Homo-oligomer: A and B are copies of this chain.
Amino acid sequence: MAVQTVASTTPVDLGPAAALSCRECGERFELGPIFACASCFGPLEVAYDLPSGDPEGLRKRIEAGPDNIWRYAPLLPVPADVADKPNINPGFTKLVKADNLARELGVTGGLHIKDDSGNPTHSFKDRVVAIAVEAARAFGFTTLSCSSTGNLAGAVGAAAARAGFRSCVFIPHDLEQGKVVMAAVYGGELVGIEGNYDDVNRFCSELIGDPLGEGWGFVNVNLRPYYGEGSKTLAYEICEQLGWKLPDQIVIPIASGSQLTKIDKGLQELIKLGLVEDKPYKIFGAQAEGCSPVSTAFKAGHDVVRPQKPNTIAKSLAIGNPADGPYVLDIARRTGGFVEDVNDEQIVDAIKLLARTEGIFAETAGGVTVGVTRKLLEAGVLDPALTTVVLNTGDGLKTLDAVAPTTGPSATIRPSLDAFRDAGLAG
């Protein structure tokens, strides 16, 4: 693997991050822009020296922090003064008590939507990119990059603009104009690649190993170990917003599976630090039927995830060969959870259900989690008497096409009271 060298005279300061460690063989490496183990090629993740011994003090310090993910700086791979640096400051999004939805679904133990559409570019990607930005700063990178077909492009463009990085984002050349606008409006370079998303990814891998890519931080490749840690903040916020309590059940969408594994990591850290009382919790994964490699493996009892060719409206989850798939299987099984999928019609129904009951217009990924929640409640797999948190990781404004064909006016009438009376809508 090509490791880029960046001139540095002082050791890298990423706060409590102590090293990178291989998720497979445990070998440790110095903090740097690397992402695979030199011994076994396993994925690297951040290992910490976390603060210990004074949970009450730590909790107070967090509560006195800013209303964004930097309140958790002591638990993240970022310098202590991160909140003073220019960054897009995502997080601390609403945990919505979804009482109307709970009534419809028969949940009595408390149903909550963690609504990440409230982030600056309206998806959870702002969380992971914000952490990658600080790593890029620490390693002396000057260009932020990624391959993307949607949410990530906007998150990188916006974060780079605020943080003072050049950005260069790669997309398939035939994306819809709306997505192109969202990716380009922040003024960074946007490069259309003649080919599909796989071609774009292959090209980016080449670029990382080439002198042309020197000084480039690809947020989800050579900065991936840091980037992934951003998802831990979802776990921290959920527990803090529940009054420093673990939920009983969490339903999480699966794309690469990284978000689910990092939420579990975050929950484990909170327990270890004494910030929440230890008790069992169950983690449920949600996929679209048209891209369900993990749920298929789960239900078949397999440990290995067989790749699929995605075909679903839930494009932000359409990763056919999810890198963290096996870890997701482990976590769902260890915690007593489940991995389920819903089809496109069920996704659209669930988007509308959430909008109608709670006034939250979710991206297709939110339709997947709400749809799976409904399906697992009907199957008796989710316990309606337990506290349940469902993630909405994106915004319906970005996937209007999913609901457009079945969402329109109740009636179209002449501007007269008679016409209105005849339409039968006076109610």
Contact = CB atoms under 8 A, between A and B. Distances in A.
Nearest to A187: B356
A84 B411 CA distance: 35
Contacts of A160: 359
Interface string A13-44: 00000000000000000000000000000000
A157 to B, nearest CB: 7
B86 A177 contact: no
Contact of A413 (B94, B154, B193, B398): B193
Contact of A415 (B203, B414, B421): B203
Contact of A359 (B159, B193, B400): B159
B194 A410 contact: no
Nearest to A402: B181
B361 A421 contact: no
A423 interface: yes
A410 B199 contact: no
A166 B359 contact: no
A355 B407 contact: no
Contacts of A203: 415-417, 420
A420 B195 contact: no
Contact of A357 (B161, B173, B177, B206): B161
Given A355-B161, A360-B120, A361-B158, A403 B181 contact: yes
A391 B37 CA distance: 48
Interface of A: 67, 86, 88-89, 92, 94, 99-100, 118, 120-122, 142-143, 154, 157-162, 164, 166, 168, 171, 173, 177-178, 180-182, 184-187, 189-195, 199-200, 202-203, 206-207, 210, 212-213, 351-352, 355-361, 395-398, 400, 403-404, 407-417, 420-421, 423, 425-427
A192 B143 contact: no
A201 B190 CA distance: 43
Given A186-B355, A186-B356, A192-B412, 9 more contacts: A161-B355, A162-B359, A181-B400, A185-B352, A185-B403, A187-B352, A192-B413, A195-B415, A203-B415
A144 to B, nearest CB: 11
B410 A191 contact: yes
Contacts of A360: 120, 158
A330 B105 CA distance: 53
Contacts of A352: 185, 187
A397 B395 contact: yes
A89 to B, nearest CB: 7
Contact of A361 (B182, B194, B213, B423): B182
Given A180-B409, A412-B194, A415-B195, A355 B187 contact: yes
A104 to B, nearest CB: 12
Contacts of A187: 352, 355-356
A86 B360 CA distance: 13
A415 B199 contact: yes
Nearest to A418: B212
Given A158-B355, A162-B100, A397-B397, A191 B361 contact: no
Given A184-B409, A400-B178, A191 B161 contact: no
Given A358-B161, A359-B158, A404-B177, A192 B411 contact: yes
A6 B161 CA distance: 53
Contact of A407 (B184, B207, B413): B184
B100 A86 contact: yes
A191 B411 contact: yes
A404 B357 CA distance: 33
A173 B412 contact: yes
A412 B191 contact: yes
A185 B120 contact: no
Nearest to A209: B417
